[in-house]
Structure 1
Amino acid sequence: MSTVVLSIGSNLGDRRARLQSVVDELAETVRAVSPVYETEPWGGVEQGPFLNAVVIAEDPALDASGWLRRAQDLENAAERVRVERWGPRTLDVDLITCRAGEREVICSEADLTLPHPRAHQRAFVLVPWLAVEPDATLTVDGVARPVRELLAELDADERDGVRPAGGIRG
């Protein structure tokens, strides 16, 4: 059994519908869906605000590479175009962490790094994740750390920039 934490975001088109499409497509594999949060874009590119959420899903048939393919399929279905790093997007689906049974998957390949190397720096990932998994941990530099602590270490403006924006059907 593999369990994945996915960070989903959109800032083009019907943002909420794009997030809902992920939950709908993952269907019975979904174990939890966070509330939706609106956030300013991350990475310095001028663009509109994002809607973000976290989805926790399980599937005995998928390993980390399988989850990556699934995430890319979801982005492709939303007509995601990769033009500019950290630029606007119809849908972004990032694997934050993956577990195979009780073991966290550690991966450093050309197309997949797990746990996500910058998740601990992003309040738009940590806030929604804590909303559905208050005891969550994330490995940073080889050490499993409580997500709550990682969030507390971020600048207050970063944390305050994650604003509740309702929900989607789980």
Structure 2
Amino acid sequence: MNTAYISIGSNIGDRLHHLMEAVRSLHSHEKIEVSNVSSIYETAPVGYTDQADFLNLVVSVETSLDPYELLSACQHIENGLGRVRDIRWGPRTVDLDILLYNNDNIEAENLTVPHPRMGERAFVLVPLLEIASTIGHPVTGTPFTVADDDGVVLWKKADEFKQQL
């Protein structure tokens, strides 16, 4: 069994609904089990800033899928929830990013793990460290830390969110 961490974000429409459906879709996949869910955090957009604020969370999953099959499952969920890729870092109904997959270092055309920008994004690190406080970078072994969590606002505690799932 493999352990992966997936970041989920939404900033179009019913953001909470999109997060809930993404988590439910992951968990209902026959080869994926959601083992933990972080709280939900609201953050301003990064990169392309002319868009609504995001809701973000991180889930840990246990899966028998290889990383490419997991990526395909994540993209299938995104597409099913109306994800359209018009603008890089633009608005989206839902975005699922594989942050970590075991302690693997993957550099392929369609997948890079660990996620290449996760270490500089508090909206990823805050929820990740909430559910995996001692996790480190698989290549360097350096523990992940959040230098500045300014702008990452707790929106809904994990226990409240889990009750809604």
- Give the equivalent residue in structure 2 for 1:90: 93
- Give the equivalent residue in structure 1 for 2:19: 19
Mapping of 1:16-165 within 5 angstroms?
Answer: 16-27=16-27, 29-60=33-64, 62-99=65-102, 104-139=103-138, 142-148=139-145, 151-152=146-147, 156=148, 159-165=149-155
> What's the Cα RMSD here?
1.3
Q: What fraction of aligned residue pairs are identical, expressed as a percent?
A: 41
Alpha-carbon distance in structure 2 between the residues aligned to 1:27 and 1:91: 16
TM-score (norm 1): 0.87
TM-score (norm 2): 0.90
Counterpart residue type for residue 90 of structure 1: T
Alpha-carbon distance in structure 2 between the residues aligned to 1:35 and 1:138: 22
Counterpart residue type for residue 86 of structure 2: V
Matched residue SS, 2:16: helix
| Long gaps (5+) in structure 2 | none
Q: CA deviation at 1:81?
A: 0.2
Counterpart residue type for residue 121 of structure 1: E
Counterpart residue type for residue 11 of structure 2: N
- Give the equivalent residue in structure 2 for 1:166: 156
Matched residue SS, 2:156: coil
How many residues are treated as equivalent by the alignment?
A: 156
Q: CA deviation at 1:45?
A: 3.0
Counterpart residue type for residue 122 of structure 1: R
Alpha-carbon distance in structure 2 between the residues aligned to 1:33 and 1:86: 24
Q: Is the 8 A contact 1:9 1:51 kept in 2?
A: yes
| Long gaps (5+) in structure 1 | none
Counterpart residue type for residue 85 of structure 1: R
Alpha-carbon distance in structure 2 between the residues aligned to 1:44 and 1:86: 6
